[in-house]
Each structure stands twice: as structure tokens, then as C-alpha cells.
């Protein structure tokens, strides 16, 4: 089945990576839920975190049906410039990384 131990180890690593990726995607949805906070600092930081996560391949497609775009757009209707900036950057990253 496997040519050598290295090939078996590589397969095990890929399976582990896929499991970790699934866990991290579910954690990402938890981050998205934190955008409903009333604390401006939390909202700005969560938007920044989601923006960084969107650089990981597959994350933007995972978030496509979650309503994150609508949520981020609604959060820009504020006087807080940090929230506006972080939400705008995250929206741009999500749009540019989505392959649709």
C-alpha cells in the first residue's frame, strides 16, 4: 500500500491537517458570532482576526454562506474608525480571496 515510511507519515500528516482545518473553521464561526458584541474594541479586533484568517486557503469559501459580509457591512455604520477600517479590510480580503 505505501512505498515507504515517509509516504505513510505524509498521509498521516495530511489527514491530521484536514482534521485541524475543520476544527479551525468551526472556531472561525465562533469568531464571527463574537461580532454581535457591544464592545467596540472586541468588534474591531474580531474583524481584524477574521481578515487574517481569510488569507488561509479555503476560509473565504467556508464563510460564504455564513452571512459574514452582511454582518461586517452592518458594523461599518459606526463612528468608530477602527471598526470601519478593520471591517473594510476584512471585506476586501474576503472578496479578493473568493474564487467564485
Q: How far apart are the first and last CA of the chain?
A: 37
pTM tops 0.95: no
> What residues make up the domain containing 21?
5-97
The pLDDT profile of the chain, 100 residues, written as one tens digit per residue, is: 445 555 545 544 454 444 444 445 567 778 888 889 888 998 999 899 888 888 877 778 778 778 888 999 999 888 999 999 999 999 999 888 766 6
Q: Into how many domains does the chain fold?
A: 1
Cα–Cα distances (Å) from 11 to 20, 23, 58, in that order, read 14, 19, 20
CATH of the domain at 80: 1.25.10.10
Amino acid at each position: 500500500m505505501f512505498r515507504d515510511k515517509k509516504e505513510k507519515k505524509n498521509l498521516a500528516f495530511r489527514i491530521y491537517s484536514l482534521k485541524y482545518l475543520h476544527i479551525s473553521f468551526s472556531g472561525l464561526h465562533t469568531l464571527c458570532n463574537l461580532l454581535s458584541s457591544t464592545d467596540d474594541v472586541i468588534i474591531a479586533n474580531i474583524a481584524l482576526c477574521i481578515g487574517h484568517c481569510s488569507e488561509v486557503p479555503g476560509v473565504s469559501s467556508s464563510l460564504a454562506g455564513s452571512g459574514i459580509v452582511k454582518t461586517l457591512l452592518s458594523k461599518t455604520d459606526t463612528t468608530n474608525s477602527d471598526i470601519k477600517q478593520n471591517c473594510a479590510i476584512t471585506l476586501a480580503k474576503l472578496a479578493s480571496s473568493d474564487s467564485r
